[in-house]
Chains A and B, each alone.
Chain A
Amino acid sequence: MAKSPVFLILLAFASPALAQRVQAELDCAFTGTDFVYDCVIRLKPPVAGVHISVGADMPSMPMAHNIKPVKARPGKVPGEYLARLDLEMPGEWAVKLRLSGAVRDLLVLRYTFTESGTAPRR
């Protein structure tokens, strides 16, 4: 049913599902291995029990980089999650967080990855 043409047509004019919005910020440390980063994701407000899949795309080369999404694991503090990102080069990346479980959302964070860590893109 999920992929039938009737479903797709009905979907086209369906109303949106209600979604609780959260925000997130990212803090990554360069591991010393090209270009692998250990990242801490902090959800605001802090929500536990969220499954986070972390992907990334390079805005200047859309669709050219297919970074394998990784599952983030819960950290020690509620709302904190840990993930190791294996990027292909330093530079500006759009990090895509797909949240499921306690919260369903899709967040895109703009960060610059350098050989020391990350900084939000301005």
Chain B
Amino acid sequence: MDEYALGVLTNIGLVSFVALSAYLLLIAGELSFGQQAFFGVGAYAAGMATAMLGLPLPVAVLISMILGAAAAALVALPTLRLRGLYFAMATLAAAEMFRILFELLHWQIEVGGERVGPDGTQGFRGIRWVFERGVEPDAFLAIVWLLLGLVLLLFLVMERSRLGATLRALGDDPGLAGALGIDVERFKLGVVAASGALAALGGALYAHHNTYIEPRNFDIMLGVHSLAYALIGGLGTALGPLLGAVLDIGVLEASRFLHGYRMIVFGGLVALLLVFRPRGLLDERTVRWLRARFS
């Protein structure tokens, strides 16, 4: 496989983590424009853990997921009482606050004769754990897709369990779910924290793939894309966000001759889908139909 194909497949895998985190919130009935913040928390935390503290990547990933979950829970505590667009706006505002915090973050130490660590708007260089261990792009692609496969498997098992049914009930009608004995606030807090951990996992891998991150990586554009992937692919199954990422990046790559105008194609695609299939290609109805047909 050539370097270009490896790059495209790795990017699809990485962006799928943040798309799945947006999907998790969507099926719980919440629209978040702020998942990029937790992707960023994961990227910075894992980068600092390996490049500055010398920790191995698996430990760094674990730390980043815990911090991503904590950051998401912190945002959720005051904002979960909001509904619909108000919650969406609050998550966007919180994500911008995180991005500004990354811009203000200056903490560099000397490692091997070089200054390493976040340097505000100048970014964070030298996240070289993966590179220095000789992990070639194809091996890193395998790591990304192995982890993504595990996450998808967890989602598919969860969606067929009582937990999945509770999650969908909460998304459909939180009032009714509450009347049936579900602690809506606590359950949603857990869902938001899990979505933060998932986005952080993607961020940790992204930082090590790129070796360099900067605050601009985590602005609204990534949040919009991740939400769009979940909405394009469909809210009927966890495979939806992955399908959305594959379709979008596939369309963008196939329309390379349009140069910068490709983004207009992307916007048009999202608009059309939201009109004709508001819950995406693999929506709940289609998934039920597919299950009935193939089971």
Contacts and interface: CB of A to CB of B under 8 A. Distances in A.
Nearest to A14: B133
Contact of A69 (B4, B58, B222): B4
Contact residues on B (Cβ < 8 Å of other chain), bracket: 35 or more
Given A13-B56, A106-B131, A110-B123, A55 B7 contact: yes
Interface in B120-160: 123, 125, 128-129, 131-136, 138-139, 142-143, 146
A89 B260 contact: yes
B252 interface: yes
B15 interface: yes
Contacts of A96: 210
A34 B260 CA distance: 10
Nearest to B132: A16
B211 interface: yes
Interface stretch (A41-49, A57-65, A74-82, A111-119): A57-65
A64 B252 contact: yes
A8 B142 contact: yes
Contacts of B79: none
Nearest to B225: A64
B277 interface: no
A16 B130 CA distance: 9
Contact of B57 (A12, A17, A35): A12
A19 B14 contact: no
A88 B259 contact: yes
A17 B134 contact: yes
A93 to B, nearest CB: 11
21 contacts: A2-B138, A7-B139, A8-B143, A11-B139, A12-B57, A59-B216, A60-B221, A61-B225, A62-B206, A62-B210, A63-B14, A66-B8, A66-B249, A69-B3, A69-B4, A88-B259, A88-B262, A89-B259, A89-B260, A94-B210, A108-B212
Interface of B: 3-4, 7-8, 11, 14-15, 56-58, 114, 123, 125, 128-129, 131-136, 138-139, 142-143, 146, 206, 210-212, 214, 216-217, 219, 221-222, 225, 249, 252-253, 259-260, 262-263
Interface of A: 2-3, 5, 7-8, 11-17, 19, 21, 34-35, 53, 55, 57, 59-64, 66, 68-69, 88-89, 92, 94, 96, 98, 106, 108, 110
